[in-house]
Structure 1
């Protein structure tokens, strides 16, 4: 269709130049000019990295947090010379869920030297047969023995990751829980900051089967108590059973005991298959995560604990998605699983139950799980904004509340975090600057309620009362989902476009893997959710507005990227249109091209970690996709590129930053020595990331 050429104009008030014209030929007559892959050799990790965090700048600026222990939600004066502690707690349903779905993040934490506590909700006893499938018929069921074998495998895997020796010894003890039962606590003798906690509840024993005696049945009220399944060698002295309330109390007590600054957990809303209604993930994963959500909500109300961030991990659905890990990282992950699976059969654990999980030995890679790690939430790269005075504002979620930091234009240090009223926020928020200078923040919120049927996720937003002012109350924009039961409330994080008149359009992926949108009206109210179409959409959509004020949205499928666009400023989004892009690892981000012409869409090549960007020139046909060399840093997760800087998660898990410019330039990478959650946000002024210490880390541009 004939369309005029796009003519860039000054961006709306924002940290980045408005931009996502990458879309497409089919919508606005534009075109891709090809694929740019950054190349270069990473520098050695900076010795000064991650020294200062939180409310202050990190590293080079030497500004440190106002609140060194994270006990107050109010800003305070900057502090120098304090490095806040990091404590990670990860909670999974079964022994091996962490190895399959959270690694290599787990090994990176172990190598950091910071405390890490792994918590297993169920014993993972299954049918009690610890044998490869071909040998299963000849083996006698022994649920206590199989539970012990899986514990042995986990202990070996963690010991090997942490010390290099799978036989490095553990000290095992029994501890009382706040739920009135017992748990086993294992401490790695060589690295006592590494601990494993076994709650030893019965598992469902089926991904989707009707198993009322399970976490699922307990959550939904089909049973009043769920009994324990003690492992054969456990020091726990007696059997016990928990009510729903007692499970929540037990998990809350675990959080109180280990005082995390960061929690890893599974996905509480993985969705269902529309044709069958069956869960896309294991029911223990889903309902175990909901128990963790309940405990985190309760823990957030307790005084005196450090602020805590949360990361959710996708489970079984990763099987159908492009792999995210480069071969070296995937091989290391597979080796750890093989240790857990007792693949070599060497009996070095000292128990009769067996030294690992022989069921996994038949397929140690799972269904492609060792080649992937994927975050279910928290992939936005648009959570820092610049105000009209040149000050910066950053946003994250801590303690289930919106955490806000501010750096005035004439200041070196950041101030905050200030925790805004209103709880239940899910990890990952996105922000936009409106034409009048106010900042709006969008995210999703989970309401737990008093019964299982009260569980609900919805889109929410808060807007500054005036430019530079405070934020108003949260406004619920609801959800396109009819109820929780039909799709487990499986909605993505929202993406937002803003028209020149200030009216916003909010877009998200629903549980049927389509995009849906809700548009703001001139009277300030919102139209109902309407479907935008698309099929097989995964992950979070991303949005931007071009120089002429037209909104664009991009979303990934396992095979390509789809695009939606407004035909002119202020018009509704239309699409989807094919972009012609190859498969990506799903996580996308869009920013203005470094030369100021058009837009650059950032993404990664599957199974490599290579960075790529697609430029849009505004005229001509779609160019063929060009394969180019890798970046030298590999890694996984979203790429944040904007206004001369690019930031990524490296293979080590550290933040990697580099300047970037025109096509063909080779970036010089700098690794910052701290682990972070979610995605970084790179812009004109620098790169922001939220560390596992729940603090804002800031790398100024040009330092």
Structure 2
């Protein structure tokens, strides 16, 4: 895998190879002087900063506490790959990506978090119930930065005051951004792009990432934090934001990227966005940058995981109490609960708005992936070859293990834009097909599709689109799930997705290309990704979680249209589901809310209601559970792979690195894809890592 580039000392411009800036970015001068008597200036010379109290400001006249000029940066790379998180606001990562963020830092990996906006809000760093100070957006943006630095320092070193080096770097968009590097752990860094935030969850704010993406404004200006080493304001066009993020990808060369969900959907009641508009459009800018970065020669192949934002608070808690407390501690550090002046900055040492509710709206108790937790991405073809599928650089990555031979791959198929992970099925003639979703950026839409082998053991053909059940992006933000697929003995296929109205939609056809249109299969209040499985006799089952239970659809052994939904009567789950054949029926594996322990419900042949539900002891963690191949595999509490010797449990073993998505299994082994884009295969002989 390519090594990180070395940046020579004294370099003034670190642009990706082949990157050009079409025109100068308009630099807006910092305020040169203050009108006498209009603002009171509180001196903070000993801490190297001034706090401007009184009116709102674009950027305060304060020197950086770091190095004001760009310096040579050598990103730190570890064996487990490099991770980048791209979010819109300070705290998006703490609310929605932790504990994955903390697990990555603990594993000594290179982690860079990129914040697209300053998060300046109304410029008042106070709880709503407290007396409100004068608005100063620059100071509030600085306080939020201080809170993030404290939280990351504490996660990395145990000490929230562990020092950072703050520098100014040139961006590929033509302006400058702030780069903070944790001195004790140089592999941990923060990048502050410092664009203006929308200032409203869903309100009409043209001066925003949303307005810029939709073309309502030609450019979006900056909001510099009070202590930032970036001296001059600027404004970016849409393309310059994409270029800036793509340039950061080239600079840090991640093997794995985390963003929030670019298609979070709308609320069932009033049709309003279910997430903050900055979250959604910041993620879309990240998608566009990743697509551009994927065309950069010589870069390491990159995996992507998206995370559910605000909507996760309305679903059952997915974390056990100890992990939730760990997550909450980082949020409390960020929120500066004790008001101790540990940072020496008059702007404040954290985000007091969050102090009123550090857990958010039940966000601290959960973490959820979107379209990334398939447990069916391992599949054996008719000739005995075992295939593993992932998504790298937005392309389908295929590993192969012929009978009696070693693994080879990955081979990246040519079509791009694929999301998350894929669902696979074996056709009756021995061919393998892989189904997933794909994002097209202009105009924006997400579609369902698949690739299929031309012959058993042969190469996979091009992407075949099945369209989408959504009328357009505006109706529901293109919010469709990863597909679930049933195949009958004659090769007829039924493909299910959750639509933006939280129902199941279905299309039917054959791998050869004759497909029906999308139809509503029923259900309401469906969340997450549906799963499908056939029992030993060929009867089909489809399961989809709601906030309270699970719905089921069933199909006879001779095929036909599945019927349902049936209310299973199951208790609430954490939404992520895994299904596999179990005797003459099937089993559904899920996690108990507020504990992460695994439970299994057994469905007798052809039934949509469980005949038994039992706990699987000793199996805490989060995410989907794989039960294919007669053994259990899941994400353990520490983020690594946890396995049990049989589908009923037994003594769990935890080992291995952090990984993307969910594990998958077959009779002779379990596999995960690491954050470095490599396949880790665990068989009876022990783990073996393969890949580039």
TM-score class normalised by the smaller sequence: 0.7 to 0.9
Per-residue deviation at 1:566? 1.5
Partner of 1:19: none
Partner of 2:415: 422
Residues 119-153 of structure 1 show CA distances to partners (whole Å, capped at 9, x for unaligned) of 000000000000011124x3111100000000000
Partner of 1:477: 466
Q: Distance in 1 between matches of 2:276 and 2:607?
A: 48
Partner of 1:611: 598
Partner of 2:631: 645
Q: 1:277 to 1:325 in 2, by over 3 A?
A: same
Q: 1:70 to 1:466 in 2, by over 3 A?
A: farther
Which residue, 80, 88, 95 being the options, matches 2:90? 95
Q: 1:307 to 1:326 in 2, by over 3 A?
A: same
Per-residue deviation at 1:547? 2.2
Q: Distance in 1 between matches of 2:274 and 2:679?
A: 34
Residues 537-585 of structure 1 show CA distances to partners (whole Å, capped at 9, x for unaligned) of 0000001122222222100001111001114422101100011211001
The two structures, once aligned, show a CA RMSD in angstroms of: 1.9
Structure 2 residue matching 1:667: 3-state secondary structure: coil
Q: Distance in 2 between matches of 1:585 and 1:627?
A: 16
Per-residue deviation at 1:433? 0.4
Per-residue deviation at 1:83? 8.4
Q: Distance in 1 between matches of 2:363 and 2:392?
A: 29
Which residue, 660, 675, 692 being the options, matches 1:677? 660
Q: 1:289 to 1:401 in 2, by over 3 A?
A: same
Which residue, 435, 438, 442 being the options, matches 1:442? 435
Per-residue deviation at 1:350? 1.2
2:90, 2:119 within 8 Å by CA — same for their partners in 1? Answer: yes
Q: Distance in 1 between matches of 2:107 and 2:653?
A: 18
Per-residue deviation at 1:70? 12
2:643, 2:653 within 8 Å by CA — same for their partners in 1? Answer: yes
Q: Does 1:122 align with 2:117?
A: yes
The structure whose residues are more often strand, as a share, is 2
Per-residue deviation at 1:272? 1.4
Q: Distance in 1 between matches of 2:92 and 2:610?
A: 42
Q: Distance in 1 between matches of 2:477 and 2:608?
A: 42
Per-residue deviation at 1:252? 0.3
Per-residue deviation at 1:598? 2.3
> Larger relative contact order (C-alpha < 8 A, sep ≥ 6)?
1
Unaligned runs of 5+ in 1: 1-66, 72-81
Structure 2 residue matching 1:592: 3-state secondary structure: strand
Per-residue deviation at 1:218? 0.3
Q: 1:620 to 1:179 in 2, by over 3 A?
A: closer
Partner of 1:462: 451
1:496, 1:506 within 8 Å by CA — same for their partners in 2? Answer: yes
Q: Does 1:157 align with 2:148?
A: no
Per-residue deviation at 1:69? 6.9
Structure 2 residue matching 1:359: 3-state secondary structure: helix
Q: Distance in 2 between matches of 1:425 and 1:627?
A: 36
Q: Distance in 2 between matches of 1:527 and 1:555?
A: 22
Structure 2 residue matching 1:371: 3-state secondary structure: coil
Corresponding residue pairs, total? 615
Q: Distance in 2 between matches of 1:277 and 1:251?
A: 31
Partner of 2:587: 600
Unaligned runs of 5+ in 2: 6-76, 687-692
1:647, 1:682 within 8 Å by CA — same for their partners in 2? Answer: yes
Alignment of 1:204-219 (within 5 A): 204-219=198-213
1:582, 1:625 within 8 Å by CA — same for their partners in 2? Answer: no
Residues 144-167 of structure 1 show CA distances to partners (whole Å, capped at 9, x for unaligned) of 000000000000000000000000
Partner of 2:63: none
Q: Distance in 2 between matches of 1:621 and 1:528?
A: 26
Partner of 1:20: none
1:201, 1:228 within 8 Å by CA — same for their partners in 2? Answer: yes
Per-residue deviation at 1:389? 3.2
Per-residue deviation at 1:601? 1.0
Q: Does 1:134 align with 2:124?
A: no
Q: Distance in 1 between matches of 2:551 and 2:430?
A: 31
Q: Distance in 2 between matches of 1:522 and 1:109?
A: 40
Per-residue deviation at 1:643? 2.7
Q: 1:671 to 1:274 in 2, by over 3 A?
A: closer
2:533, 2:586 within 8 Å by CA — same for their partners in 1? Answer: no
Q: Distance in 2 between matches of 1:404 and 1:523?
A: 21
Alignment of 1:204-603 (within 5 A): 204-411=198-405, 413-449=406-442, 454-520=443-509, 524-593=513-582, 596-603=583-590
Per-residue deviation at 1:644? 2.5
Q: 1:619 to 1:463 in 2, by over 3 A?
A: closer
Per-residue deviation at 1:702? 6.1
Partner of 2:675: 692
Q: 1:575 to 1:158 in 2, by over 3 A?
A: same
Structure 2 residue matching 1:369: 3-state secondary structure: coil
Q: Distance in 2 between matches of 1:621 and 1:371?
A: 31
